[in-house]
A and B are shown apart, each in its own frame.
Chain A
Amino acid sequence: MKRSKTNLLWRSSIRFLLQHPWHFALSILGVALGVSMVVSIDLSNSSAQKAFSLSTQAVTGEATHQVTGAADGLDESVYRQLRMAEKPLKSAPVVEGYGRLSVVNRTFRILGVDPIAEAPFRSFASQKAGINLSDFISGETTGLVSHDVASELGLAVEDTLMVSVSGHTFPLRLIGLINPDNDQTRRALENLLVVDIGTAQKLLNMPGKLSRIDLILPENTNERAIKNITTLLPEGADLSRSDSRSQAVSQMINAFEFNLQALSMLALLVGMFLIYNTMTFSVVQRRPLIGRLRGIGVTKREILRVVVQEAILIGVIGTAIGILAGFFLAQVLLKLVTQSINDLYFVVSVQELSIGIYPLIKAAVLGMGATLLAAYWPAREASNAEVSTVLNRSSSESKIKGRIGTLALAGIVVGGLGGGLLLIPNGRIGMGYVSLLMIIIGFSLTIPLLVTGLTGLIRPVLSTINGLIGKMSAQGIVTELSRTSVAIASLVVAVAATVGVGVMVDSFRTTVVSWLEIQLQADVYVQVPRAVTRKADGELDPTVVLRLKQTDGVAGFHTVRSVDVHTNFGIDQLVAVDNEVSSHNTYQMKESEPGFWNRFRNEAIVMVSEVYAYRHHVDLGDSVFIRTDRGRAGFQVAGIFYDYASDLGTITISRNTYDAYFDDPAVSGLALYATDGADVDELVKRLRSRSEGLQEVLIQSNRGLREASIAIFDRTFTVTIVLRMLAMLVAFVGVLSALMAIQLERKREHAVMRANGMTPGQLWSYVITQSGAMGLIAGILSLPLGIIMAYILVYVINMRSFGWTLQLMVSPALLMQAVLLAFLAALLAGIYPSYKMAKASPADALRNN
């Protein structure tokens, strides 16, 4: 008996949803959009991480420890000493770097190994696997790639491929293929070029040097044994665990990925508002039905159950669609995320999506959780209503009107608490987001009050424009405040999110552009093509440097050397600049010790970028300890400068000091100053022709480099911009669905108006005006919230994630765009219901209801 009753209830509920396909579909869309963003960001992040860890696993092999050098690698004699040492050690030399295969123009990791020593480390690179030593170690440029890479590139054994590294191109004979035994291995090897160690030294221009020596130490190796090995090492060399480096590298992108995740959560939050909106709508619309059901003896529990069931149905379908859509979206985002990581941090080549269980569970939990959470209040409201009041349509309205003040107060308290959280010193990024969320919620709670106020303001305006109908439209917003304010709140949050992110990106860009203006003082810049766009780690040929410096029209120059060094904070970028007099203008100091520039050249002091100081809590007067070729040395931080080129931060040292501590004469970049009145473009041409045939180098004029830098900046932010567009789409759908729902719900009211003599045209005008007014109100209210969000993103989240000082830059165009978005979506939302209403016979509408 009970069973059939609940079935009946459930059937009525399904019927209701099917009769309102627009709401049903839009609410599913709301969940799906939110979920798909979370899924796609998670998947693309985890795919990049997975690709990185797999390729690391492939090149680390079974090594437990590694010996690394100071800045410019490790002398190969260290390897000989280790091999000759009393106690036999499992060790293998490695020379590693990046190069491009011209066939695909894709970056490959070049792994130089000694196949004779490889067997315990990397089976695929060992003599025992079948590498023919005659071809491999005898000095000819030969190599191995995986079977899949070969078939992808249409290569066969004995083919020659062109490998270019730092502007030099080498023909390389393919002497064998590596067959991966399983899928993971296949993916781990998909960007690997295995060559002999001698070949690698030649390709990567590292004569006599090793990148590292891999070791396998027994698990029970104690501190003393490790110390014994350490005593065999020269100054500057260090023994560390093999996983420590990959950990350090993958930690680099944590803040970057966290921010992307936060953006995707924001989309889900907007999605929640949409669900809440839809559920409220479906409950309110069925008030009379619910009242009647209650009247004939259906219990509260059963009503609650039906509403929750509906929510679950929407949640399940929305989540499933969202996950599927997330996969497709992830394919697009993956490229963008990978591009950003490659530009900013390290080379990772992700050819395919790796699908883990965790992002899916997370998406399912979030999708279902958000739906149920959003449906909770409407469900409670429906089940708590007394039989008599349910039949009374406006009971809920009178309730909310009495509460606007309380709600607003609560909103101010919550928002205030959120703001207060920001004041806690040394807060974490997560705290910043919590505070952001609280401010959003707080602001939403004040929306009924703000809507009432704003409606009061626009009523005279609307009345002037549209007479009585205008006035009625405005009044209609307030009379159904419980519905309209929720719809408006969700629009405000959605639109504000787009404003916030937009303002943040704008601020960032403006800051970087003006920084570049000052930073780029020289007229021509010469660099080596590189794997990681923002990392100048290549080496210029000394002959190229010499020739370029001596070109006609060059009045002066300074050089830059950029290397990765081991410091007490991990692996950091060290930049050595010479000719401090001319280069000194290019640095914008945040703080520095008195007489800094006079001391910089000859003393053991450094300046660090603002980001570096922030990340590592380094202040003026503190010391940074760097492993140099003279052993570990401390350098006092005497200056902190603005720098937006690296979000990991850099340490800058004078070339003079660098040369005293490192045996590395190489130059990574060259900045040239033209003689007065010289034509820079002509000079660039001349320089290009002079370097031709020596080394492929990038020679760019000041303007060219600035444009290229901005292009890279824009590229790294593409993913953010895509997310913002998606948020805009969610907002648009939100406005559309919420307002359409409201207008459709008012069918009966509209029928009454028609019955009382309103013409279809007047009704059309009424609905459109009302919709437009709500859209406008939402658009206007989204501006303050959007700017507050931008403020938090720029000054709190960015600061805590990266440590950059940015200038908040609010562009009027962006704000206009937001208002317009809300307004247009609102107008669009009015069209269908008014069209439908205008066409329908009022009598039918009344009867059917």
Chain B
Amino acid sequence: MKLSGWFVIGFLTMAVIGVIWWISIPPEVEIRTSLSAVDAMSGDTEGYLRADGPREFVFPDDHGAHEGFKTEWWYYTGNLFTGDGRQFGYQFTIFRNQLNPPAEGVDTVTEESGWSTDQFYLGHFALSDVENKNHIYEERSSRGAIGLAGARAVPYRIWLEDWEVQRVGGESGSDPRFPVRLKAKMVGGAAIDLQITPAKPLVLQGDRGYDQKGSTAGNASYYLSFTRMDTKGTLKINDQLFEVSGHSWMDHEWSTSALDEDQKGWDWFSIQLSNGYDLMYYQLRLKDGSVSRFKAVTLVDPAGEKVPIDQEDATLEVLDHWESPHSKSSYPSQWKLTIPRVDLSLDINTVFPDQEMDVSVRYYEGAVAVAGTMNGEEISGHGFIEMTGYEGK
């Protein structure tokens, strides 16, 4: 009795010591951290190049990157159809961000390492499967170094790893119009491989490509578009491969600071109409929710000429809203756009509501269907709407 009692005491002592230590040692845990005292990316624009007035563009150079400006993007959107009329929307965008101002007009990167760079690239690729109301997207990023990402003018190639738009056919020449091949694939397997050929000449938006967006000097961008490009190729979604064709739109825009302090976001339409006209319309919105006086409208006739219209001639009316279940933001989903001066009235609807891009910066980029009249004639059309600044509403 007693003997075993002693054993019990002995082992209990050990057990108690053991348990104390055991408790004091947390079990095998993963390495978890947070970061502190890291400066938030400053909005400082000092030292960067600014869009401060119309300039002469030189091609093909101006299709490439404009280092020294803080932001730049190459935006491809389009509506594509299979032989039996099934519709898909696609968005493919490569953004370039400059991380530090260029020093004395030269690149700040002075180190020998190929990895060191001031160029940061971000890519968005999205597909809208209209039939299934399914919108899928992916975001990628990389530094613009050791060939991982970049924007080259000659021969034209804008790429982020294996996502790329590349010139096909002749390598150079000063004609800004040339066919490209666009290839992108998501981790899940969805992919596009498209041949894109401009059907109209390059459009210089705003004032000869200079687009003032705020009242402060330099709050402007350089803005070029191909408003209608014949597109054909393949699209793969849910392991199904489709032969598709349709029209694409391309915007190439660069700036250092575009928006004023009180501007919050924008609504931006790009529309190709069945009568051969193409329409670009955007309006900037203020923080109080009202529409800024900065808006723009460009109508391109079937021959590729800009129809002279004043921005005041266009009116946009929101008819309906959709609340995103992901962000709880409320986005417009139905509009009426009228330009009485050219006798144009359009009803615009998103092809389905949920085309929100829930990526590092949340926004809406969706295919729209258009119906209406122009010069008394019934017309239809397809296009894209981009909406930003609806967060927290």
Contact = CB atoms under 8 A, between A and B. Distances in A.
Interface of A: 3, 6, 10, 57-58, 61, 76-77, 79-80, 83-86, 88, 114, 116-117, 122-124, 127, 129-135, 137-140, 144, 146-147, 157, 175-185, 188-189, 196-199, 201-202, 207-208, 305, 308-309, 312-313, 315-316, 319-320, 323, 355-357, 360-361, 364, 368
29 contacts: A76-B114, A76-B115, A79-B146, A83-B142, A83-B148, A86-B162, A116-B142, A122-B31, A130-B35, A133-B41, A134-B99, A134-B118, A135-B39, A138-B118, A139-B109, A176-B35, A176-B37, A180-B33, A181-B32, A184-B28, A188-B31, A198-B115, A199-B113, A201-B113, A202-B112, A207-B112, A315-B10, A323-B17, A368-B14
A37 B253 CA distance: 73
A81 to B, nearest CB: 10
A137 B115 CA distance: 7
A316 B28 CA distance: 30
B100 A134 contact: yes
Interface string B4-15: 001101100110
Given A85-B162, A138-B116, A129 B34 contact: yes
B185 A305 contact: no
Given A138-B118, A157-B37, A364-B14, A182 B109 contact: no
B84 interface: no
Contacts of A179: 33-36
B41 A134 contact: yes
B26 A139 contact: no
Contacts, number: 190
Nearest to B112: A207
Contact of B110 (A57, A83, A139, A199): A139
A185 B115 contact: no
A60 to B, nearest CB: 9
Interface residues of B, number: 55
B7 to A, nearest CB: 7
A57 B143 CA distance: 26
Contacts of B148: 80, 83
Contact of A360 (B18, B39, B109): B18
Interface in B53-68: none
Nearest to B109: A139
B31 to A, nearest CB: 5
B23 to A, nearest CB: 10
Contacts of A176: 35-38
B3 interface: yes
A188 B22 CA distance: 20
A80 B6 contact: no
B26 A189 contact: no
A117 B40 CA distance: 19
Contacts of A356: 21, 25
Given A132-B39, A197-B115, A361-B14, 12 more contacts: A58-B31, A76-B114, A80-B147, A124-B33, A130-B35, A178-B35, A188-B31, A207-B112, A312-B9, A360-B14, A360-B17, A364-B18
Contacts of B41: 132-134
A182 B114 contact: no
A357 B21 contact: yes
Contact of A147 (B1, B22, B36, B109): B36
B111 interface: yes
B39 A123 contact: no
Contacts of A360: 14, 17-18, 21
B32 A123 contact: yes
Contacts of B111: 139-140, 198, 202
B303 interface: no
A286 to B, nearest CB: 18
- Complex A-B, nearest 6 residue pairs according to Cβ-Cβ distance, in ascending order: A139-B116, A198-B115, A139-B111, A198-B113, A124-B33, A181-B32
A214 to B, nearest CB: 14
Contacts of B33: 123-124, 129, 146, 178-181, 185, 189
B82 interface: no
Contact of A183 (B26, B109, B186): B26
B361 interface: no
Contact of A316 (B1, B10, B18): B10
A139 B108 contact: yes
